């Protein structure tokens, strides 16, 4: 199981060398990381409803566009093993997203201690989350395309 080296996972997917237990482990890892990220995000709920609404709408659009782009990169309806590839490749990408999120969190913490307003911090968080999600799907599409 790869935790960071997405290219090696990509090669294993091309060769069909991952068994059902491996796919189950990637699915479990992806689910656990998603749950952890969700609860970490809830530690400090936003007060700015406009920023929250913008974030939720844009991330929803990015998710729909990203999944459709990944599906197309896999060959669309004639492609093979889309779900296996998407779930497996999401695991190391989510680890990278968590690292990026921690870095963004530290930067936001430093900005908060420096006296940046709560309004600016929440918009900064919103923009960061949108950017990280866009990069996640961009990389997912690129990796799936190379496995097709």
Structure token pair of residue 61? 């659009």
Whether 1 is covered by a domain: the verdict is no
pLDDT digits (tens, 9 = 90+) for 74-117: 999 898 888 899 999 999 998 998 899 889 889 988 999 999 99
User: Based on the structure, what is the number of domains in the chain?
Assistant: 1
Q: Which domain holds residue 76?
A: 6-147
Whether 93 is covered by a domain: the verdict is yes
pLDDT digits (tens, 9 = 90+) for 49-62: 898 889 889 988 99
What pLDDT band is residue 42 in, cutting at 50, 70 and 90? low
Whether 96 is covered by a domain: the verdict is yes
pLDDT digits (tens, 9 = 90+) for 64-80: 899 999 999 999 989 88
Whether 49 is covered by a domain: the verdict is yes
Whether 27 is covered by a domain: the verdict is yes
pLDDT value, residue 85: 92
Whether 28 is covered by a domain: the verdict is yes
Residues in Cβ contact with 12 at an 8 Å cutoff, skipping those fewer than 6 apart: 2, 18
Q: pLDDT averaged over the chain?
A: 87
87-101 b/e (C-beta count within 10 Å ≥ 16 → b)? bbbbbbbbbbbeeeb
Assign residue 2 a region: left if phi > 0, alpha if psi is -120 to 50, beta otherwise? beta
């Amino acid at each position: 199981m790869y935790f960071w080296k997405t290219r090696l996972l990509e090669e294993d997917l091309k060769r069909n060398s991952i068994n059902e237990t491996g796919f189950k482990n990637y699915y479990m890892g992806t689910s656990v990381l998603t749950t952890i990220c969700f609860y970490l995000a809830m530690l400090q709920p936003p007060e700015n409803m406009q920023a929250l609404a913008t974030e939720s709408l844009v991330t929803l659009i990015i998710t729909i566009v990203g999944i459709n782009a990944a599906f197309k990169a896999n060959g669309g309806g004639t492609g093979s093993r889309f779900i296996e590839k998407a779930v497996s490749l999401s695991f190391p990408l989510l680890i990278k997203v968590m690292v990026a999120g921690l870095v963004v969190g530290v930067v936001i913490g430093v900005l908060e201690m420096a006296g940046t307003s709560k309004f600016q911090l929440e918009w900064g968080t919103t923009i960061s989350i949108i950017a990280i999600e866009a990069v996640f799907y961009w990389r997912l599409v690129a990796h799936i395309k190379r496995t097709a």
